[in-house]
């Protein structure tokens, strides 16, 4: 199969197939006659695994680690459990950061509803942002 066929079969873009080929998660054979990359069914299965892993939040590095374990005939399951727990913790932190950002945005909208527009005066760029940021905890700004 060629890049386009693999992409269509899995519902991804050709660029996705090329990316995972470039970083060597996929290893197609090169046709000596036309120098096209030819993907085997094993490559398709590997890409299906990669796409599923990415959908669960695994990084490319995580996926490489998991594949290496499997290729060394070791169960990747303990590693997968450990990594997914770490990714969940990271996701929870990001979620909490977004909740805090949403609260700041909501507070800004409420505060700014009654503030008139101003033209910059050389000391301020946008008085709404500058006055709002004065009351925000600097640890909350990331």
Q: Is the pTM of this model over 0.85?
A: no
Q: What is the pLDDT of residues 90-121, one digit of tens each?
A: 999 999 999 999 999 999 999 899 888 988 88
Length of the chain (residues): 142
pLDDT score of 131: 82
**Cβ-Cβ contacts under 8 Å for 108 (sequence gap 6 or more):** 128, 132
Strand partners, 38: 29
β strands within 1-142, DSSP E = 29-30, 37-38
Number of Cβ atoms within 10 Å of the Cβ of 73: 6
Q: Give the mean pLDDT of 73-98.
A: 97
DSSP H stretches of helix in 23-126: 41-55, 60-71, 77-112
pLDDT score of 94: 97
């Amino acid at each position: 199969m060629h890049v386009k066929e693999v992409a269509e079969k899995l519902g991804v873009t050709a660029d996705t197939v090329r990316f995972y080929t470039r970083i060597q998660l996929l290893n197609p054979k090169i046709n000596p006659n036309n120098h096209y990359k030819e993907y085997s069914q094993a490559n398709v299965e590997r890409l299906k695994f990669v796409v599923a892993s990415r959908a669960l939040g695994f990084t490319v590095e995580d996926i490489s680690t998991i594949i290496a374990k499997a290729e060394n005939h070791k169960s990747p399951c303990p590693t997968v459990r450990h990594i997914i727990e770490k990714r969940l913790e990271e996701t929870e932190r990001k979620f909490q950061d977004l909740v805090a950002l949403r609260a700041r945005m909501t507070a800004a909208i409420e505060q700014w509803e009654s503030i008139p527009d101003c033209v910059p005066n050389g000391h301020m760029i946008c008085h709404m942002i500058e006055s709002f940021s004065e009351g925000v905890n600097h640890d909350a700004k990331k």
